[in-house]
């Protein structure tokens, strides 16, 4: 494995800051979306606290899965997605730049008097998602 371009903690901080965890505005019950986002945020926050070395990323995720306990299936699924995002960040400087742009945009987005979510926001396209702007 090549030397990773980004530490797991740094990628977790970028994902937490990027607004990726905000639910999209939809005309359906979003409880599952909200629960999944909360679980992902919990996993990312644990990664920040653990601050594993890149070679220990998978072991750190296994530790987080054990820490969160049963049911472990949803936690494992979200942890796999976090691992895949970290691997993409290691393989693609453009993905890291996109995450950083998302984090900056989220930090600049006005929230007072506005509902949180992604509706009506200009989202730069992910380098590997085409022009849809979703990831």
Give the predicted TM-score (pTM) of the model: 0.70
Q: What is the DSSP track for 46-63?
A: HHHHH---GGGHHHHHHH
Q: Where are the domains of the chain?
A: 8-24+31-106
Contacts by 63-68 with C-beta closer than 8 Å and gap 24+? 68/42, 68/43
* pLDDT value of residue 104: 86
Average pLDDT over residues 121-126: 44
Kind plus residue range of the DSSP H or E element containing 14: helix 8-17
132 burial (CB, 10 Å; 0-12 / 13-18 / 19+) is: exposed
Under a CB-based contact definition with an 8 Å cutoff, are residues 100 and 10 in contact? no
> What tens digit of pLDDT does each residue of 14-65 get?
888 887 655 556 556 666 667 788 899 999 999 999 999 999 999 999 999 9
* pLDDT value of residue 27: 59
């Amino acid at each position: 494995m090549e030397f990773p371009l980004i530490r797991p903690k740094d990628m977790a901080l970028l994902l937490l800051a990027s607004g990726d965890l905000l639910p999209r505005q939809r005309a359906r019950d979003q409880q599952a979306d909200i629960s999944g986002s909360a679980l992902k945020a919990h996993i990312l926050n644990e990664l920040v606290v653990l601050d594993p070395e890149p070679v220990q990323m998978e072991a750190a995720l296994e530790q987080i899965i054990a820490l969160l306990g049963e049911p472990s299936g949803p936690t494992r699924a979200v942890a796999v997605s976090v691992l895949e995002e970290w691997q993409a960040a290691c393989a693609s400087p453009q993905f890291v730049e996109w995450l950083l742009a998302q984090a900056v945009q989220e930090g600049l987005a006005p929230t007072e008097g506005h509902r949180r979510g992604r509706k009506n926001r200009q989202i730069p396209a992910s380098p590997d998602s085409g022009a849809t702007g979703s990831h």
